[in-house]
Each structure stands twice: as structure tokens, then as C-alpha cells.
Amino acid sequence: MFNFIDGVLFFAYNGNTFGFANITVSPMDIILAYIVTIIVSIIVAFALKVPLLPSKPYRYSFDVSAIYPTPIIAVGVFSIFLVLNYTFMYNGLVLAIVIGILSALFVKYLFYSVFPKPLNDDEGDEINE
């Protein structure tokens, strides 16, 4: 995992490889953008009435929450943009806010369409009868 983070920091910091970027982004700007992405995704998910924690038992719960998987999806999508050397404005802060909002909307409205819940132990038995 740390090799991935180091690679993202390296590629975003040395951003003028192909001549697309006229500024370089410092590692502190990238870390700040990651923190902004996480905070915005949690706040927007909580504002959309996504529960803060999944239902109990936490270990076997497949419910979405504001803590998991919302910020994980936001950080993953933001990392893809950083690896592609696209930071948009203000050293990636605007992009971080937009991705945080979109990831919260994705988890609220589209998550179960893309990733359906697994069947329970008692579901699906009527097929065998």
C-alpha cells in the first residue's frame, strides 16, 4: 500500500512529464486533497442520511455507511485522477470536493445496483424445493 502512495506522490509531484501541467503539486497539497476528499465524502453521505455506521454485527454487515465504503471509493477515484496527472484547479482541492460529493451520491443511490448484496443463508432455498 505504501508503494502505491509513494508512486502517486511521485507521479503527481513530477507532474510536468508530458507538458500537460504548468505547475507541480507538492506532496503536502496531495495529502491535503486526500483529507478533503475523505471529509467531504463523509459529510455529504451523512447529509444524504446514509447511516454513520453499518448495522450490527459490524463484521458481517453488507450495509453501506458514511464511514465505509464512501471515503474508500472517494480516495480510490481521486487516486486514479492523480495517477493520470489531472488535478484541475487549486492543486486538486476542487477535484477532491467534486469526487467526495459524487462518491457519496454513488453510495446512496447506485451502490446496490453495481454491487448487489449477497444472499442470506435462508434465501435461495426455494429453488431447490
Q: How many residues does the chain have?
A: 129
What lies within 8 Å, CB to CB, of 35 at 6+ separation is none
Which is higher by pLDDT, 110 or 125?
Answer: 110
> Alpha helices, DSSP H only, in the chain?
2-13, 27-47, 70-83, 93-109, 111-114
- The residues with which 65 forms a beta bridge, in sequence order, are 69
pTM comes to: 0.74
pLDDT tens-digit profile of 69-86?
999 999 999 999 988 878
pLDDT tens-digit profile of 102-117?
999 999 999 989 988 7
Here the cell at position 10 is 511521485
In the chain, domain spans: 2-114
